[in-house]
């Protein structure tokens, strides 16, 4: 029996399911009943893989159900699917078209299986909430700085106080969630041993970057989105830029790198050397982000806590 590849276009309320090589399209609701309908189809067709896009959380119910049923599942970046569709010359975009494109990508794109450990999923939710609170806190502090009315300033300060309490509680929840897994706890201790790395980045890396320590430094940098990408064509040589990747991890890494340029001797020396060589602040900071990520990747892979004599030379081919 030939291998079957299934693509699922996920939205808030619905699931559109296509089997590669057929014109058939199955529609299901994005609830427990609809998800089980998709799982039964995948089992009946002996699917080699079920592929779906990351949709900001709407895919989680399906993702968990497929993993629990032992069905191979792969969650992919929507950008990859869109570029794949454009490469095929399919510029129109509907749920049905997307489902068939995803199924075709599952067959020809060789997506990597994406397991979903329950503990990691819980930790990811808590880490996401922490990021939301931190973002709101920063926004409110900026508003407080420019507010003129005493009444408005008082209201903003009250909200800041509440957000700080919520953030403290979420940090406690993060610590509790991390302690439930010996592997996560070990990684947390290793990551937080680095000057400049706090609860936020450690939890974000554990929850959103489970590949850390398993990939080489170049692949890890590309995964997070801190690897400079070429923009060359013919005689044109464009400026190298960083983009894509996992934005939540990159944002947390940025904040930790800012701190590390002040308190981490390795990162600080590297940053000052780049600036002395004429690099712009943003360019130097991005390079420091990449270096800090490389150090973290090597430390997790070897199970080695922070050592300033070791950190500048991680073995990472």
Residues 28-64: pLDDT tens digits?
A: 999 999 999 999 999 998 999 999 998 877 888 898 8
Please identify, among 58, 75, 108, the residue that sits at the C-terminal boundary of a domain.
108
Other CB atoms within a 10 A radius of the CB of residue 74 amount to 19
pLDDT at residue 2, as a whole number: 65
CATH code, domain with 37:
3.30.420.10
What is the mean pLDDT of the segment spanning 303-315?
A: 66
Q: What are the φ and ψ backbone dihedral angles of 194, each rounded to 5 degrees?
A: -85, 125
When pLDDT is cut at 50, 70 and 90, the band that residue 310 belongs to is: low
Q: What's the domain count of the chain?
A: 3
pLDDT in tens, 232-291: 444 444 455 544 567 788 888 999 999 999 999 999 999 999 999 999 998 999 999 999
176 and 122, same structural domain? yes
299 and 268, same structural domain? yes
90 and 59, same structural domain? yes
**With contact defined as beta carbons under 8 Å apart, do 45 and 19 qualify?**
yes
* Segments forming the whole domain that contains residue 164: 118-180
Sign of CA dihedral 122, 128, 130, 136: negative
316 and 200, same structural domain? yes
Q: What are the φ and ψ backbone dihedral angles of 6, each rounded to 5 degrees?
A: -120, 135
Whether residue 97 is predicted with pLDDT greater than 80 in this model: the reply is yes
**What is the per-residue burial (b if ≥16 Cβ within 10 Å, else e) of 2-34?**
eebbbbbbbeeebbbbbbbeeeebbebebeeeb
Please identify, among 56, 82, 108, the residue that sits at the C-terminal boundary of a domain.
108
Helices 118-146 & 199-208 angle (0-180, nearest 10): 140
Strand ranges, E, within the chain: 4-10, 14-19, 25-29, 47-53, 73-76, 232-233, 236-237
pTM for the whole structure: 0.57
DSSP label at 305? -
Question: Nearest-CA neighbor of 201 among 146, 272, 251?
Answer: 251
Burial of 309 by CB count in 10 Å (0-12 exposed, 13-18 middle, 19+ buried)? exposed
Would residue 211 count as lying in a domain?
yes
Average of per-residue pLDDT values in the chain: 84
187 and 175, same structural domain? no
pLDDT in tens, 122-168: 777 788 888 889 889 999 999 999 999 999 999 999 999 999 999 99
Whether residue 193 is predicted with pLDDT greater than 90 in this model: the reply is yes
204 and 175, same structural domain? no
pLDDT at residue 232, as a whole number: 44
Distance, in Å, from the CA atom of 21 to the CA atom of 278, rounded to the nearest integer, reads: 55
């Amino acid at each position: 029996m030939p291998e079957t590849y299934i693509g699922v276009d996920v939205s808030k309320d619905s699931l559109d399911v296509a089997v590669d090589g057929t014109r058939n399209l199955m529609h299901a609701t994005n609830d427990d009943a609809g998800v089980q309908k998709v799982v039964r189809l995948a089992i009946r067709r002996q699917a080699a893989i079920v592929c779906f896009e990351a949709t900001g959380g709407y895919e989680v119910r399906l993702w968990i159900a497929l993993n629990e049923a032992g069905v191979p599942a792969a969650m992919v970046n929507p950008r990859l699917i869109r570029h794949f569709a454009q490469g095929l010359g399919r510029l129109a975009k509907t749920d049905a078209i997307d489902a068939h494109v995803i199924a075709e990508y599952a067959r020809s794109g060789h997506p990597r299986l994406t397991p979903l450990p329950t503990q990691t999923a819980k930790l990811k939710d808590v880490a996401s909430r922490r990021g939301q609170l931190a973002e709101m806190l920063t926004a409110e502090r900026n508003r407080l700085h420019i507010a003129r009315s005493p009444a408005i300033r008082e209201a903003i300060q009250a909200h800041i106080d509440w957000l700080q309490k919520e953030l403290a509680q979420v940090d406690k929840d993060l610590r509790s969630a991390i302690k439930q897994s010996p592997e996560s706890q070990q990684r947390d201790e290793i990551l937080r041993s680095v000057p400049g790395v706090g609860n936020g980045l450690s939890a974000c890396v554990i929850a959103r970057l489970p590949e850390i320590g398993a990939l080489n430094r170049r692949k890890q940098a590309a995964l997070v989105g801190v690897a400079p990408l070429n923009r060359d064509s013919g005689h044109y040589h464009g400026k190298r830029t960083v983009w894509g990747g996992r934005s939540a991890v990159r944002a947390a890494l940025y904040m930790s790198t800012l701190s590390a340029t002040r308190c981490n001797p390795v990162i600080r020396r590297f940053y000052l050397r780049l600036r002395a060589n004429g690099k712009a602040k943003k360019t130097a900071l991005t390079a420091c982000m990449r270096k800090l990520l490389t150090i973290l990747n090597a430390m997790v892979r070897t199970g080695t806590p922070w050592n300033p004599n070791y950190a500048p030379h991680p073995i990472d081919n």
